Chain A
Amino acid sequence: MTKLLASREALLMVAIAFLLAIIAWRFPAFVVPSNLLAVFNDTSPLILLAIGQMIVILTKCIDLSVAANLALTGMVVSLINIAAPGLPVIFIVLIAVGFGTLLGMFNGILVWKLAIPPIVVTLGTMTIFRGIIFLLTEGKWVNSHEMSDSFKSVPRADLLGLPILSWIAIATVILFTIVMTRTSLGRAFYAAGGNPHAATYAGINVGKTQFWAFTISGAIAGLTGYLWVSRFAVAYVDVAAGFELTVVAACVIGGVSIMGGIGTVFGALLGALFLGIIANALPVVNISPFSQMAISGGAIIIAVIVNAQANRTPGRIILKKAEHAT
């Protein structure tokens, strides 16, 4: 573990520090704590989704439907809020998580039981989910004034100096760090993606493990769906359109191997923060959004190259003297 930290996550932390240093040199106000917390808060949805996506990618799958799931769940809870403005927000949150879970399970069942390639399944469900939003609303928006105040206030509510949204991201990071490192299920995700054959022989049902990965990803996407529409106080068909690619990018930058089996929650967090900092900092230092896209793209490619280098082991330990050197 420590070695992995040394190679991948630590490298990314250095890169983030370097990025912040450059920004600070051009625009010192960016790195004051209050602004950094604002950046963290702004990046929280990406962090949440990246954690779910990380787990899916770990099992050699991909979930392209996360942003569509987010939009559909967001719309569903918005409509419920309009229909029943008095419903306590806690129920809204539970409905969002539950509904997102169902959507994720739908992906998972198709991958597990019908053995359809995940990229095809989620490409399909991505379109279906957005289509359903259109069917529900006929393309109409749900605007701020239609939402109840309590519905809108939760993600912004302040708790010990941080908005709830940030706290949810932090709690999710902690929860899934524990799940991934300290539970049998977490171990199964790594095993199923690292070597499906060996995992099968060890008595792990690879398809079922992938199903759980999609389920978790769906649950997180559902939760993020509520947080997103309530924070921006608007829900419509194209909410977070294309965001699934940003999520995948965050994972890749965070050292998650697209081939499965390698990745950590901490890495996904750092990958998301890296993109979040770029997105928030470049406008203030007067770099156009188009260069911003190019810079994000460049970061992805560099990350892939760095990870490919890191994965190239320096050689097997065959020499006796090498065994006893750390």
Chain B
Amino acid sequence: MELLSGADMIARFLKDEGVERIYGYPGGAALHIYDALFRQDSVQHILVRHEQAATHAADGYARASGKPGVVLVTSGPGATNAVTGIATAYMDSIPMVVLCGQVASHLIGEDAFQETDIVGVTRPIVKHSFSIRHPSQIPEVLKKAFYLAATGRPGPVVVDIPKDMTAPTERYEYVYPKKVKIRSYNPVTRGHSGQIKKAVDMMLKARRPVFYTGGGVVTGGASEALTDLVRRLGFPITTTLMGIGGYPQGDQQSLGWLGMHGSYEANMAMHHADLIIAIGARFDDRVTNNTSKFCPTAKIVHVDIDPSSISKTVRADVPIVGAAGNVINEMISLVQERESANPDSLGEWWKSIDGWRAEREGKLYEPSKPGEALKPQEVVEAVYRATRGEAFVTTDVGQHQMFAAQYYKFAKPNRFITSGGLGTMGFGFPAAMGVKLAYPQEDVVCFTGEGSFQMMMQELSTCKQFDVGVKIVNLNNGSLGMVRQWQDLNYKSRHAHSYMESLPDFAKLIEAYGFTAITVKTHEELAPALERAFADTNELVFLDIYVDPFEHVYPMQVPLGSMRDMLLSKTERT
């Protein structure tokens, strides 16, 4: 029998759970835990410079690896600084365990120094939360936290740990719980066979079908199965922003992603479809536009592991509750058994789709001419080529995020890492850190803008301490581009606070941390800069690339319209 203090139990549990790395920041209420971490060497602690960065780094790691990211913060401000990162993970269903120090039990409720009711504060943005009431509960509660975070529809779990629970003087028996059971939590895995059969019948009869898949396919590890099913059926497929990489984007059947800034052909195909097969997607408002005008002729099959996602915004005709992978595999075996009534029946449909593709071919944006400012789109395309399309790409939020998603074509899942649901500026750089620490051999690129980068740029210091060689591509347009775009479109170009006065000299800033910065202002400078930047995978390089400040992201759905109502450029609309 092994007797450990609460703090040592936490360190030991993390090791037994197979956690290699955690992200955090110490403080009074967490000091016993930090001392326990100091006395072991199985779990590496990455000291960030702001707790929000710890959550984003853990989140980036989780999105790339599929395993829960782990965060350790202290009570009060440590915990509240983590809130934005917890909400980010919640909105995108990312597995994460956040361990928060708390003031000692006898002080709770007395407005003690650095006391915050973090369980209360985070209640609407966690999958679940725990408060430790006795040190002996620690192994079981932590196991439950990891189990809940990673199973079913994943999400963040907060564990509140009062300081006296980790006191070094009190020791209790430690046994690593291999399994836990929670009587009220039994996530569905297999879908209802009858419903799946019904869905497959509809799929085989459809004339204008389209797959619409989301983050559930990526987090559910169902990309291979999805690719198999889609190829067997020969249907077109569009993914959400979160679903990018769930199906290879370069493939002929891929229409790219859909929604507000989705591709013309994807939105047109959705609008004209007679059957939509939605898998692991949630009919979010950035996808559907006006739900009352959404896909008027389509029947909807909706597969999701979370029943509350089904028929939340758009009514499903065939709801299927189940894990994406299992349901897709069952669909594959049904499709194998039966041949489509008429394999050529999709010919007309593909003709329409190819027509839509042809309409926009070569018109997506106007490349810059020599002497003109670079277009952000061509920078993304150049980075795509420089990394052979194989990098892990994280983004912040705004125009650069949409350009990265549009012009970097992902062949694999878990490679495009972006805050889709919450839209958190400041996410990209720390997320890239989390990815790079776990995948040191890979290129990790963070597309960002001056606005977003300045929200988390203190993490340069973390990168310095832990030798994190991410590549930061700052698409510098001197303004909050997406805000400015909306002001151009809806506020007669009154640019209220979307222009950043007094930007820092980024090159000098980066150099102050001892890193390499390359400023790019012309065409000629771009290729050599990228070559230099990607020469050494392990070197942090900041590319400050000046791009056309007047560029807008298109297509852009017209507010309150249907899927097909889009602005295609500053002068064209559907």
Q: Answer whether A and B are interacting partners.
A: no
**Chain B residues within 8 Å of A, Cβ to Cβ:** none
